[in-house]
Amino acid sequence: MSSQGILTIVSGFSGVGKGTLMKCLLSEYPSEYCLSISATTRAPRAGETDGVNYFFVTREQFETMIREDKLIEYARYVDHYYGTPKDFVVEKLSQGINVILEIEMQGALKMKQKYPESLLIFVVPPKASDLEERLVGRGTEPPEVIKNRLRRAAQEAVYMKDYDYIVVNDEVERATRQIHEIITNERDRVLRRDDFIEKLTQELQIYSQQELK
């Protein structure tokens, strides 16, 4: 029934499990979703690949993309630029495929202002202690780093109220299914059904004037 895909931004505190949910969503519903790959000026970390995790570009290249309006949105985060290349997104949406952006909160809010029809989903832990346990349980970071992540989460919590939906990552399959249902249902929001509404309205006007069969 619906035609265009929906641009959905998924954000959440570091460690909450966004990456896992996105992998699960893409593998459960491969024909309906794709992940947008951001451009960034930061250096790749161990294990990251250009064109897979990010498009890794120089600052000059990024600034050229800005000037040539090739980015849907961009922001500075810590010391680097991050942005969403436009062509890929526009093409996929027009094919009826939902595009997921995993971007940080500044960029998400800018996106929503510019494109009110985009959808903002904030992934949260069931409770704060779960987040701490998950970060501690990884065993890869010292206590001070974990404490900083929790502090940053406490600061980022103010953004929750500007998002559209809260999804609690209590269990991966349930949360993934919920994200899928949210996006699927959102396609029937009136603001995305303009064409259908106009067509039905015109048909009704024609029918109400014709002689009946």
- Which residues sit at the interface with a copy of itself, rule CB under 8 A? 1, 13, 122, 124-125, 127-129, 131-132, 136, 143, 146-147, 150-151, 153-154, 157-158, 160-168, 178, 181-182, 184-185, 188-190, 193, 196-197, 200-201, 203-208, 212-213
**Minimum CB–partner distance for residue 131 and a copy of itself (Å):** 8
**Minimum CB–partner distance for residue 138 and a copy of itself (Å):** 13
Q: CA 83, CA 37: separation in Å to the nearest integer?
A: 9
For a copy of itself, the closer CB: 41 or 112 = 112
**Minimum CB–partner distance for residue 39 and a copy of itself (Å):** 29
For a copy of itself, the closer CB: 52 or 154 = 154
Token code pair at residue 106: 């500044």
Q: Taking the C-alpha atoms of 47, 32, 13 and 175 in order, what is their torsion angle to the nearest 10 degrees?
A: -120
- Residues linked to residue 101 through DSSP beta bridges, in sequence order: 9
Sign of CA dihedral 87, 92, 96, 97: negative
**Minimum CB–partner distance for residue 202 and a copy of itself (Å):** 8
- 73: three-class secondary structure by DSSP: strand
**Minimum CB–partner distance for residue 35 and a copy of itself (Å):** 22
Residue with tokens 């519903």: 29
For a copy of itself, the closer CB: 33 or 163 = 163
Q: What is the DSSP letter of 38?
A: P
**Other C-beta atoms lying within 10 Å of the C-beta of residue 140:** 8
For a copy of itself, the closer CB: 71 or 135 = 135
For a copy of itself, the closer CB: 97 or 150 = 150
Amino acid in position 163: Y
**Minimum CB–partner distance for residue 171 and a copy of itself (Å):** 12
For a copy of itself, the closer CB: 40 or 98 = 98
Contacts from 82-88 at CB under 8 Å and sequence distance 24+? 82/38, 82/39, 82/40, 82/42, 82/107, 83/38, 83/39, 83/40, 83/107, 84/36, 84/38, 84/39, 84/111, 85/36, 85/37, 85/38, 85/39, 85/55, 88/36, 88/37
